[in-house]
Amino acid sequence: MIKQELIFRDYLRAKGLKFTPERRMVLEEIFSFSGHFDVEALYDKLRHRVGGLSLATIYRTMPLLIKAGLIKEVMRCQNRPQYERCFGSPHHDHLICIKCGRVFEFREEEIERLQDKVCQRFGFRPIEHRLGIKGYCKNCQIKERNSRNV
């Protein structure tokens, strides 16, 4: 069995919950590609499958996957939460282009370390953190010059 499925099943069993075909579909879809996604994108992909599933079910499945440690919310674009798998890929932060919407991932060990230092200073026990930098990507910087009227 695929590892993420095992993790999910274990999580559900431990909570007295069930591993249903719908939950499997959501899990499979998420792990069939890498990168970010939101609820709407998932629904678009899954609704037309044989025995598609409802939006409510996806909404109900997301927190389970998060608690199982398989996905996490990483940021918001146009006011919708974006998720990504956290199983298998190390933590990283994001550069988000305001213009084209592209997302670049990076990991800077030194920043991670400094964050821990800050937490220590406050006696704070960190659970998760999120760093997002918004701005203009390389490709968009030229076009952007003409429309700086915000």
Partner DNA sequence: TTGTAACTGAGAATCAATTGCAAATAGTCA
Partner DNA sequence: TGACTATTTGCAATTGATTCTCAGTTACAA
Residue 129 engages its own copies in binding (rule: CB under 8 A)? yes
Residue type, 143: K
Residue 114 engages its own copies in binding (rule: CB under 8 A)? yes
Q: Which of 76, 80, 91, 143 binds its own copies (CB under 8 A)?
A: 76
Taking the C-alpha atoms of residue 139 and residue 104, their distance in angstroms, rounded to an integer, is: 13
Taking the C-alpha atoms of residue 56 and residue 119, their distance in angstroms, rounded to an integer, is: 37
How far CA 113 is from CA of 10, 22, 37, 108, 120, in Å, comes to 32, 40, 28, 9, 11
Considering only the stretches 30-38, 40-48, 49-57, 127-135, report the one whose residues sit in contact with its own copies under the rule CB under 8 A: 127-135
The site map against its own copies for 82-111 (x = CB under 8 A) is -------------x-xx-----x-x-x-xx
Q: How many CA atoms lie within 13 A of 135 on its CB side?
A: 8
Interacting residue ranges for its own copies, rule: CB under 8 A: 67, 76, 95, 97-98, 104, 106, 108, 110-111, 114-115, 117-119, 121-138, 141, 150
